[in-house]
Structure 1
Amino acid sequence: MPPRTSKTTALRVAVLADSDTRWKWGALTARRLTTGTPDAPRTADRPVEITGLLLRGRATPTPRQLAEVGDVGIETGRVREVTAVEFLDTVRNEGYDIVVLALVGGAVQAMLHGLAALRLAARPVVVTGYVGVVYEKLADGLLLRHGADVVLANSRHDAERFRAVYEGVGAHASAVTEAALPFLGGAPHRRQEGRETVVFAAQPSVPASRADRTYLLRRLVEHARLHPDREVLLKLRSKPGEHTTHIEELPYQRLADRLPGGLPPNFSLVYGHMGEVLDRTDLLVTVSSTAALESLHRRIPTAILTDLGVRETLGNHHFIGSGLLTSWDRLDGGSHPEPDEKWLAGQGVAADGTYDTAYDTARARVDALLAEHRLPDLTPYYTPATAPGYLPGILARHHLAPDGHPLPGAAAPRETGGVRGAVRDAVREAARGAYRQGVQRVAPVIRRMGEL
């Protein structure tokens, strides 16, 4: 049978993301699967068109956040927001060959059921995965992603765990495909005379409490005072009021404003693309940020803090056996941990030079699926029969019925152009602003008041 798509037409890819970090992962994954790496592009036999879509919600990235993600090969002006129902309608009308779902697990599950309900004669190949270290809700997150044609694992370690979960519940595990994080890269670390820069990679929700976050900030500032010859940077993910993949209710910026004694002159808050910050980093310190894997890929000295314990809720338990666990006391004394090479080999950081081939298997799998005359129906593990008390709620959050079809009233056609279209867009923008104000500013205050 002939392939579903012609080699003379463009390969059409849609990336649907719900946060800045997932947008970065999804867009770069689409590039790695279709055109290779920016430095070593794949010789494609057909042009590639990648469309960027942002799922509207509390963490929808702002233009500033999109710009700071860095070059992902898609102009920000070509990226648009959609609801879940609008996304499904776009897939039905545009005829994509590949769809990359860069979403939280529940949203992936909803889109899988929504796509299945479209009953397309030639449906797209569906790809999903994780944006970083998988240290919590392993079974829950994986089963919500089950049903995609390709579930990318960022390392051999993850691939083995993913298959074990699927096989353990009796679900097929053939979709699990080993790859790597798509945003690793940059020049290997080289120490420069007269320069020593320490960077603390902050996380929005780890740790969560004011006391723990204040402690980490205080120790970072004390490190700067102890070593006035070092440049100490606090790398932040977002500005107050912005959301990323996780909610940040206690921004370090506000804690820093209240720190007794102020900030020393060699201490700075920095934003921007993580790769650019790593270009000048000589020691990366974090609790459990994915930035640690980026740092290790470039052979930058990296430290995982144990000051608050080694706990599943912090995610630093993922680094047991890495040789990277240490404390501020040791770092203050000049100690730098050395990574365990065996541990590194299983984590997909590809510091051994194999990164250029990390997506070969995934790319071959996608190419094989594209060559099929007709793909089988999407069959997620969760169905109204297997999870009747769980699945309907997940789908309803995205205005989908238990069978994957839009709920009544959710699929009203959009008016375009004219006064009514302009009014609709203005009302929608105002509603979106009110929603963000509620979830990003008002709700955290109410929660904190409730803890008093």
Structure 2
Amino acid sequence: MPESNERTQRVAVLADSDTRWKWGALTAHRIAPDGRLDGLLLRGRATPTARQLEEVGVQADSLRELTSAEFLSDMERDPEQYDVVVLALVGGGVQAMLHGLAKVWQGRRRRPVLVTGYVGVVYEKLADGLLLRHGADIVLANSRQDAERFRAVYEGVGADSSSVVEAALPFLGGADHQDHEPYTVTFAVQPSVPKTRTDRLYLLNRMADHARMHPDREVLIKLRSLPGEHTTHVENLPYQRLADDVGLPDNCRLVYGNMGEVLDRTSLLVTVSSTAALESLHRRIPTAILTDLGVRERLGNHHFIGSGCLASWDQLDQGHIPEPDPDWVAVQGVAADGEYESCFDAARKRIAELGEAPELPPVAPYYNQVTAPGYLPPLLARHRLAPDGTPLPEAPEPVAARGIRHTMRKVTRGAARGAYRYGAQRVAPALRRLGKL
């Protein structure tokens, strides 16, 4: 690859959901601030909708949907079209693409630098998720604590840990907290935490009660997606559908939008364990991690033990404002002291070093046919790859039917997207205006 000062760096982000697109695209901007960004959306259950992409607010120079087989074919045809490829995928997806790329780039001296990482707080399946990401040239850690844990896992299984590079969450930023009116309490929703209807109704009722108890405050319930939309995790019980059962007061309402813009007007951020808490802490916004449902691994709020932010709705109702522990904040990659911009220096340096090397080594994940012969083949098969990383053929169909079906899929997909855009951009705003009359 030519040196970065000779031409614009070219970065591709392969993402499988809205949250991973957000992480991948913003990571690309951090590691190549003046580079060209090509967005590749992996077609599947959680492929972002136009509304979700707009809410993320990241502009790409190009954006298209494709299958994993199409991605690998594209990488085989022209491996030097990109300087860096960011794999913003679930762990199994990263592992599958690493094996697929290892196959299509076999014997090649030149290829892009491969970067991957996590979209937020790593509070479960640490070993599993990390080993599925092993094989990338760079595995980004969002904090000093994560970097130490990641290296310990790799070294503990005898895998190379030099790929681990300490950085930070790429979407931290924004202005420091300022007092403003009205006092606004924002609850950051998570798609899969908590899971049960009972727990979700409990939280909704506590939000509504807090709003009634403090009529001079606004209580915002920051939603992640519309009912029917998919994100990183499946949301089976959207708060929108449960809100009708609760009956929210006028000063308690559901909101969408970019989290950074919502935080601009937030006086107190409340959540069970959302990564939004780190965004809030970075901006010195008072932040509460709820203990009402317990401090449990399945909720993820155990990650915040020692943070000083644990609190219950009873305490918040009575005016309690949590005080974050500065030592805990410091090891979480939350650089509220203004040093955040340097957090990606190490990643940029490593990419430059790899880019200037005469050749990059073959892609070699820890999991292979020797280390994981029972685990790897079915994992690759779920992503339609053979055990050696070769894409599996699609089920054959008659040529005539293939042409008709391709045309129908294209027409139907275009019509559906057009209808969605019209509904989101024209109908929904009109209904909101009518609701205010």
In the TM superposition, residue 398 of structure 1 has moved relative to its aligned partner by: 1.3
Percentage identity across paired residues of the two chains: 68
Equivalent-residue separation in structure 1 for 2:103 and 2:2 (angstroms): 20
Q: Secondary structure at the match of 1:359?
A: helix
Equivalent-residue separation in structure 1 for 2:404 and 2:116 (angstroms): 35
Q: Secondary structure at the match of 2:20?
A: helix
Equivalent-residue separation in structure 1 for 2:348 and 2:414 (angstroms): 37
Equivalent-residue separation in structure 1 for 2:4 and 2:326 (angstroms): 45
Q: Within 5 Å, which residues of 2 pair with 1:184-199?
A: 184-192=172-180, 194-199=181-186
Letter in 1 for 2:139: V
Equivalent-residue separation in structure 2 for 1:187 and 1:6 (angstroms): 31
Q: Secondary structure at the match of 2:153?
A: helix
Letter in 2 for 1:335: H
Query: 2:17 — aligned with what?
Result: 19
Contact 1:4–1:122 (8 Å) recurs in 2: no
Equivalent-residue separation in structure 1 for 2:157 and 2:109 (angstroms): 30
Equivalent-residue separation in structure 1 for 2:173 and 2:66 (angstroms): 31
Letter in 2 for 1:20: D
Is 2:77 aligned against 1:79?
no
Letter in 1 for 2:117: G
Instruction: Please give the per-residue CA displacement for 1:50-96, whole angstroms capped at 9, x wherever unaligned.
Output: 210011111111000000001x2315xx3111111111112223422
Equivalent-residue separation in structure 1 for 2:263 and 2:307 (angstroms): 20
Aligned length: 409
Is 2:218 aligned against 1:231?
yes
Letter in 1 for 2:392: L
In the TM superposition, residue 34 of structure 1 has moved relative to its aligned partner by: 1.0
Query: 1:442 — aligned with what?
Result: none
Contact 1:146–1:380 (8 Å) recurs in 2: yes
Contact 1:17–1:53 (8 Å) recurs in 2: yes
Instruction: Please give the per-residue CA displacement for 1:156-186, whole angstroms capped at 9, x wherever unaligned.
Output: 0110111111111111100000000001111
> Aligned match of 1:266 in 238, 243, 251?
251
Equivalent-residue separation in structure 2 for 1:4 and 1:144 (angstroms): 30
Q: Tell me how large the CA RMSD over aligned residues is.
A: 2.1
> Aligned match of 2:163 in 153, 169, 175?
175
Distance 1:239 1:171, change over 3 A: same
Instruction: Please give the per-residue CA displacement for 1:129-176, whole angstroms capped at 9, x wherever unaligned.
Output: 000000111000000000100000000011011111111111110000
> Aligned match of 1:356 in 341, 346, 355?
341
Q: Within 5 Å, which residues of 2 pair with 1:413-424?
A: 424=406
In the TM superposition, residue 8 of structure 1 has moved relative to its aligned partner by: 3.6
Is 2:201 aligned against 1:201?
no
Is 2:319 aligned against 1:334?
yes
Contact 2:116–2:139 (8 Å) recurs in 1: yes
Distance 1:235 1:115, change over 3 A: same
> Aligned match of 1:279 in 261, 264, 273?
264
Is 2:43 aligned against 1:59?
no
Letter in 2 for 1:153: A
Unpaired runs of 5+ in structure 1? 36-43, 435-452
Contact 2:143–2:166 (8 Å) recurs in 1: yes
Query: 2:146 — aligned with what?
Result: 158
Q: Within 5 Å, which residues of 2 pair with 1:293-312?
A: 293-312=278-297
Equivalent-residue separation in structure 2 for 1:354 and 1:239 (angstroms): 36
Equivalent-residue separation in structure 1 for 2:262 and 2:24 (angstroms): 21
Query: 1:139 — aligned with what?
Result: 127
Equivalent-residue separation in structure 2 for 1:245 and 1:227 (angstroms): 34
Contact 2:185–2:269 (8 Å) recurs in 1: yes
Contact 1:4–1:373 (8 Å) recurs in 2: no
In the TM superposition, residue 117 of structure 1 has moved relative to its aligned partner by: 0.3
Contact 1:13–1:98 (8 Å) recurs in 2: yes
Q: Secondary structure at the match of 1:28?
A: helix
In the TM superposition, residue 258 of structure 1 has moved relative to its aligned partner by: 1.5
Query: 1:114 — aligned with what?
Result: 100
Contact 2:4–2:352 (8 Å) recurs in 1: no
Letter in 2 for 1:27: A
In the TM superposition, residue 195 of structure 1 has moved relative to its aligned partner by: 2.1
Q: Secondary structure at the match of 1:258?
A: helix
Q: Secondary structure at the match of 1:101?
A: strand
Letter in 1 for 2:200: R
TM-score normalised by L of structure 2: 0.90
In the TM superposition, residue 251 of structure 1 has moved relative to its aligned partner by: 0.3
Instruction: Please give the per-residue CA displacement for 1:300-339, whole angstroms capped at 9, x wherever unaligned.
Output: 0000000000000000000000000010000000001100
Distance 1:5 1:353, change over 3 A: closer
